[in-house]
């Protein structure tokens, strides 16, 4: 939740007058020039007026200081907050859970989008389930092979708020002629008749057992995804919860196992986004067994990206691609040992 707290203003480090400032505590040869003094003050000096608290476990809480609330209301589906949180920029919070921030969203959106696109090689049609903030669509549009991006999100109010206040993230992508925005339920969209997609991206809210989004991580949902995925080279990627076995002992492994019940090939990977406070797992699935991530060299990935994504990325390259798949041994063991397949029959009330 969001709570008011008073906080003393941190002490200023160094002089802040003029166009530039230097840290006086450092020797001249090691001084750090601060060229944008206003940005430095906003990030370092200004104390937050309230805090966003998000429990990771019953005993662990992630907190972010809030300097300015831009939007705070309840939509037809969820509570919506957009706020400025200092070093990490502007944040989207839904139902009191951090969704994305302008400061580190690229560490989420780049692997989410470019892993399946690299494995496909030259995607033309991309479907994004969720993605109201526009970050996934922005990244998909970097591929020169992409002719169409369809974004399906259930909450029009969230989409419009993101278009207005998260422009650093979406960068106007919803105005691109290649982007089609569909307001509606992802299940209904997948169940309808339509074309197949080269890449389908599950940019969905956090998976929680017995939670409202559970059905979007069930075997039945993944079967609908498979029906709309191009069978020879198509790739489906979904964020699958924390890989921390302390916070979520079974969730990531069970989502992986559920995908394996539908797709012949499922590859788990993970990224770390600081504002989430925990390493985030993802899975990429397909009917095609090749290429597997381990068969692509870092050099070949870099060559493909240079050819297909001339605008480039902040974090994602061949070495980063390979590093994403280096899961800890205990996580790999948990994935290999899991037997539970999520089905709507397990939680019929969800």
Catalytic residues: 203
Q: Which two tokens stand for residue 259?
A: 């995908």
Return left, alpha or beta for 346; rule: phi > 0 is left, psi -120 to 50 is alpha, else beta. alpha
Phi then psi for residue 304, to 5 deg, are: -60, -45
What's the per-residue H, E or C state across 35-93? Answer: CCHHHHHHHHHCCCCEEEEEEEECCEEEEEEECEEEEEEECCCCEEEEEECHHHCEEEE
Nearest CA to 138 out of 321, 319, 311 is that of 311
Phi then psi for residue 63, to 5 deg, are: -120, 145
Q: Dmax over Cα atoms in the chain, in whole Å?
A: 67
* End-to-end alpha carbon distance in the chain: 23
Q: What is the per-residue DSSP string for 271-324?
A: EE-GGGSSEEEEEEEES---S-GGGS-HHHHHHHHHHH-TT--SS-SHHHHHHH
Beta-carbon count within 10 A of 103 CB: 20
What distance in Å separates the CA atoms of residue 159 and residue 219, rounded to the nearest whole number?
28
Q: Is the peptide bond before 291 cis (omega within 30 degrees of 0)?
A: yes
What distance in Å separates the CA atoms of residue 66 and residue 49, rounded to the nearest whole number?
6
Cα-based angle 218, 57, 69 (whole degrees, multiple of 5): 90
Q: Which two tokens stand for residue 83?
A: 């706020």
């Amino acid at each position: 939740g969001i709570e008011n707290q008073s906080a003393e203003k941190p002490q200023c480090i160094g002089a802040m007058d003029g166009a530039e400032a230097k840290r006086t505590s450092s020797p001249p040869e090691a001084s750090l020039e601060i060229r944008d003094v206003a940005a430095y003050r906003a990030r370092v000096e200004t104390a937050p007026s309230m805090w966003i608290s998000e429990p990771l476990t019953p005993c662990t809480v992630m907190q972010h200081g809030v300097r300015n609330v831009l939007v705070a209301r309840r939509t037809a589906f969820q509570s919506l907050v957009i706020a400025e949180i200092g070093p990490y920029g502007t944040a989207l919070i839904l139902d009191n859970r951090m969704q994305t921030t302008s400061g580190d969203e690229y560490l989420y959106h780049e692997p989410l989008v470019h892993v399946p696109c690299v494995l496909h090689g030259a995607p033309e049609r991309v479907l994004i389930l969720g993605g109201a903030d526009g970050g996934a669509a922005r990244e998909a549009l970097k591929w020169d092979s992409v002719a169409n991006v369809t974004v399906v999100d259930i909450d029009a109010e969230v989409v419009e708020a993101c278009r207005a206040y998260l422009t650093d993230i979406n960068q106007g992508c919803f105005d691109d002629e290649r982007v089609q925005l569909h307001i509606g339920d992802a299940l209904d969209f997948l169940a309808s008749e339509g074309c197949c997609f080269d890449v389908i991206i599950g940019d969905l809210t956090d998976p929680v057992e017995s939670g409202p989004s559970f059905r979007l991580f069930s075997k039945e949902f993944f079967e609908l995804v498979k029906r709309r995925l191009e069978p020879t080279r198509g790739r489906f990627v979904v964020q699958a919860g924390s890989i921390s076995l302390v916070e979520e002992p079974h969730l990531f492994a069970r989502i992986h196992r559920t995908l394996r019940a539908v797709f012949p090939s499922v590859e788990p990977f993970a990224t770390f986004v600081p504002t989430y406070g925990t390493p985030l797992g993802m899975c990429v699935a397909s009917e095609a067994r090749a290429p597997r991530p381990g068969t692509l060299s870092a050099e070949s990935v870099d060559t493909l990206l240079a050819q297909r994504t001339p605008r480039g990325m902040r974090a994602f390259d061949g070495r980063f691609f390979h590093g994403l798949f280096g899961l800890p041994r205990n996580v790999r063991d948990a994935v290999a040992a899991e037997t539970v397949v999520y089905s709507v029959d397990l939680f019929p009330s969800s």
